[in-house]
Amino acid sequence: MLIESESAMPASADAVYAAVADLRQRPTWLTEMSEVDAPPGAAQAGTRFTATSSLLLHSFHGASDVREADGVSRLTEEVHLGARFQSMWTIVPSPTGTVLRHRIELDLPRGPLGWLARIALGWRLRQMSRRSLRLLARRLSSAS
């Protein structure tokens, strides 16, 4: 399953990248994340962090490994939160600020009730991603 969201950010590409790469601040704008344990500073390739997230009335504790962090426009994580998925953040400068794209790639169960999981989780993940991007845009707007 592929979930893609994007939002205009009223900030420079550097500021948007810094916000995405600041793992300790993610609970302030990632709606599903309530706690994070990460090293200080910007995420780099090889950074491992743990987090507690809520999804569909369940709380999950998981770990993520940063696979790519170019310091400018791209940050990719492999997330282990019950299921494994990949979360990719792409920062693109625009004439009015920056566009932030978030892409989630995950495999969901295929069994007899797999279709139900794909519908429910797909809907919820799209909703959470869009809301998180809006919250980050507001946060960056108020910081400038």
pLDDT tens digits along 58-115: 788 889 999 999 999 999 999 987 778 899 999 999 999 999 999 999 876 677 777 7
Tokens 């797999």 belong to which residue? 114
Higher per-residue pLDDT: 109 or 7: 7
Can you give the residue range of the structural domain that contains 37? 2-143
pLDDT tens for each residue of 31-58: 889 999 999 999 999 999 999 987 666 7
* CA-closest candidate to residue 31, choices 55, 9, 64, 11: 55
What is the pLDDT, as a whole number, of residue 109? 64
* Banded model confidence at residue 121, pLDDT cuts 50, 70, 90: confident
**pLDDT above 70: residue 144:** no
Q: Which runs of E-coded beta strand occur in 19-73?
A: 33-37, 48-55, 58-69
pTM listed for this prediction: 0.90
Give residue 35's identity as a one-letter amino acid code: E
Is pLDDT at 120 greater than 70 in this prediction? yes
The reported pLDDT for the residue numbered 37 is 97
Question: How many domains does the chain divide into?
Answer: 1
Q: What is the CATH number of the domain that holds 124?
A: 3.30.530.20
b (16+ CB within 10 A) / e for 26-38: bbebbbbbeebeb
Q: Are strands 33-37 and 48-55 parallel, antiparallel or unpaired?
A: antiparallel
- Pairwise pLDDT comparison (7 vs 114), residue with the higher score: 7
Measured distance CA(42)–CA(3) in Å, rounded: 25
pLDDT value at position 117?
72
Q: What is the DSSP string of 63-117?
A: EEEEEEE-SSSEEEEEEEESEEEEEEEEEEEETTEEEEEEEEEE----STTHHHH
Q: Is 43 helix (H, G, I), strand (E, B) or coil?
A: coil
- In the three-class reduction of DSSP (H, G, I as helix; E, B as strand; rest coil), residue 30 is classed as coil
